[in-house]
Amino acid sequence: MCAIAGFFGEGLSPREANGLLKSMADTLAHRGPDAEGLFTGKGVGLAHRRLAIVGLSDGLQPMQSADGDLCLSYNGEIFNHLELRADLESRGHRFRTGSDTEVILHLYDEMGPDCVEMLNGDFAFALWDRRLRRLMLARDRMGVRPLYHTRHEGRFYFASEVKGLLEIQGIQAKLDPIALDQIFTFWAPLAPRTAFEGIKELPPAHIMLVEEGRVEVRPYWRLEFGLDAHTAPNGEDTEEIRALLSDATRIRLRADVEVGAYLSGGLDSALITTLATPLAPAGLRSFGIGFDEEEYDETPFQSIMASRLGIRHEHLVCGQDEIASAFADTIYHTEQPVLRTAPAPLHLLSRFARGKGIKAVLSGEGADEIFAGYDIFREARIRRFCARQPASRLRPHLFRRIYPYLTTLQKQTPDYLGAFFGVGADNPEDPLFSHRPRMRATSGAKLFFGEVLRERLKGYDAADEMASLLPSEFTRWHPLEQAQYLETRFLLPGYILSCQGDRVAMAHSIETRYPFLDYRLVEAAARLRPETKLRGLREKHVLREAARDLLPHEIANRSKQPYRAPESVVFSGEAGAHLRTLLSERSIGESGLFNPRATAKLLEKGQRSPLAGFRDNAAFVGILSTEIWHRHFTHKTMPTAAPLAV
C-alpha cells in the first residue's frame, strides 16, 4: 500500500518537475512512510511513497522494466501475483525482484492495457509507456484504492489523494455544489465527480489512457446480475461460496509483514477471522472498537469470538470526547463532507492498530452488499409487500422486525411506521425504489443550504443523475438485485471503502484487505438466486449456511446490527466546544454555504438535548463536516493532529 502521484505534459524544467513531484508525494507521506522515489522523463514524471508490505527489500518504486521502456508507480496489492508470476515465467519472462509490482510490468509488456483483467487485487497505478508515449492509469474493480486527476495549464496530473493535487501551483480547492448536493442525497458524490470542483476521480474498474492530444476512459469490468439462469438454491451454492471465501482470505494473508484482522462482533468479520486464524503462521491478532454507550457497543461479541478462536484480541473504547477530538482530522483525510460520525472511530482504530505494529488488516466489509445483509434490502421488500395492500394495518408491523436495535421505532404505531418508510409514496417500478426513503431522510439536510447554494442547484436533481447512470439491463433484474447494484456501485466505493475504509486506515499507514470483495466471490454472489441471499427477512442466508459449523451460535444467528457510532457526540468536551464555534451564526455566515439562522436553531436544539432523529443528526454532521472541509482545504485554517509516532 502506497501513494502515487505524477504528471504528463511539457513545460516543466527537470528541477521544477522534481520539486513538484517531491512536494506532491510528501503531502501523502502518511500513505507511505517507508520509502520514496521519483522518476522523470521527457514531459512525464512519476512519484511514489511506499508502505512496504510485499517485497520489502526489492520493491522500490517507481519501478522500470529491464529495457527502461516501462515505468510503474503503483498503490495496492495484487493478491494472485504468485500465480501470475509462475505463468509468466513458464512463458519465458525473467524477474529481477520478488515484488508484485514487477508482475504488472511484465503483464503489461505482454498484454498492454488488458493486463488489468488478470489482476485479483486492490490497486491504483500509473504506468508510463515510453515507446508509445502513453500514460495509463488503472483502478481496481470494486474501488478499494483511490485515484484522482485534473488538468492544469496544459498538463495532466494525478495523485492517490486530492491533497497531492493541491500542491500544484495555481490549483486551489473549491467546493463543487453538485457534489455537495449528491453527498447530502447519497452520502457520496457520483464518480467521477468529487467534492473538489475541477478534480475528478477515476471510477472503479476503469482504465484511462492519456496520450498527446487524446484521453480515453473505459471500463474493463462491471457488476452484472442474471448472467446465468438462476437455479434452485442447494448445498452446492453454500460449498462454492465457502470455498471462494476461504481462498480469498488465504491469498489476502500473503505479505512479508504481519497481517491482523478487524473483529467487529458481527457475522462477516467473525467468519473472516475464523478462516484466517489457522493460516496465520505466527498466530492472528485482532482489533475492534468498543463504545461506552451500550446501544453501539459490540465488544461482548468480539470477546466470544476471540475466546472461541484462542486469539489475542484488543479493543479500543471510543467515548464522546475521543470522537469529537478526532472528527476534524478525520474530515481532513476523507477529503469530503460526511453525514455520519462513523468514520472517526475507525480513524482511531487504525491509529490504535498501527501503534501495535500492524501494517495490514483483514476486514469483513463487502458481505452486506454482495449477500444482501443491509436493512435497506429487507425494508424495500416490506415496502413492496405493503404497497400491494397500502391500507393494511398489519403489514407495517414488519418494519419493527428489521430494526430491533432502534428502541424508539419499536414504540411507533402502524400508521407512523407506514408513513415513516414511505409506504404508498413511491412507485415500485421506480429504479431507485429501494433507496428512496434513505434519500428523503438524508436530503432533509439540504433544507439548511444557503441562498447561494440553492441558486446554484436550481433545477438539478441528484436522483435523476443517478438513474441516468444505470445500465440498460437494470430493469430486467430482480428488485433485490437492483437494490444491491445501487448499494455496491455507488455507496460502497464512494463512502464505505473510502471514508470508512482506505482514507481513515491509510491516515495511519494501515492497509485494509477485503476477502468478500474478491471479484470471483462478487461474481459468484451475483449469480445466486435472490431468495438464496434474502430468504423471507433472513439476510445473508447462503452466507449464514456456509458459516453454520464455523461460528458460535450467538454469532452465526445474530440479527444484523450495522456498524454505528454516536452522532451528536461532537457537542461534548473541549473539542466539541471548538467544533460548535464552526456552527455559530457568524462562522456560518462567513462561509456562505448554509443558512445561519436555521443552523443556529439546529445547534441550539442539540445543546438542549441529544439530537434523536436521523434527519437532524445527518444535517448536523453534514453541516459541521462541510464547514471543517471548507476550512481545511479552502482556507487551510484547521491544523490536523500530529502524525502517529511508530
Sequence-distant (≥ 6) Cβ neighbours of residue 425 within 8 angstroms: 436
Amino acid 637: pLDDT: 63
- Residue-wise pLDDT for 366-413, tens only, equals 999 999 999 999 999 988 988 887 767 667 777 787 777 777 777 677
Distance from C-alpha of 627 to C-alpha of 165, rounded to nearest angstrom = 21
Mean local confidence (pLDDT), 509-525: 98
Distance from C-alpha of 112 to C-alpha of 480, rounded to nearest angstrom = 37
Residue 322 has pLDDT above 80, yes or no: yes
List residues with catalytic annotation: 2
DSSP 488: I
Nearest CA to 75 out of 175, 183, 184, 2 is that of 2
Query: What rounded mean pLDDT belongs to the chain?
Result: 91
Distance from C-alpha of 566 to C-alpha of 641, rounded to nearest angstrom = 21
Write out the DSSP string of 63-94.
EE-TTSSEEEEEEEEETTHHHHHHHHHHTT--
DSSP 11: -
Which pTM does this prediction carry?
0.94
- Residue-wise pLDDT for 440-486, tens only, equals 999 989 999 999 999 999 999 999 999 999 999 999 999 999 999 99
Residue in the structure block whose three cell numbers are 512519484: 47
Amino acid 641: pLDDT: 41
In degrees, rounded to 5, the angle at the alpha carbon of residue 373 between the alpha carbons of residues 371 and 377 is: 100
> How far is the first Cα of the chain from the last one, in angstroms, to the nearest whole number?
17
Distance from C-alpha of 379 to C-alpha of 374, rounded to nearest angstrom = 9
Cell numbers standing for residue 112: 498492454
Alpha-carbon dihedral sign for residues 187, 399, 233, 562:
positive
Cell numbers standing for residue 411: 414504540
CB-count exposure of residue 343 (10 Å: 0-12, 13-18, 19+): buried
> What are the Cα distances from residue 472, in Å, to 74, 431, 478?
34, 11, 14
Write out the DSSP string of 507-543.
TTT-EEE-GGG-HHHHHHHHHS-HHHHSBTTBTTHHH
Amino acid 560: pLDDT: 76
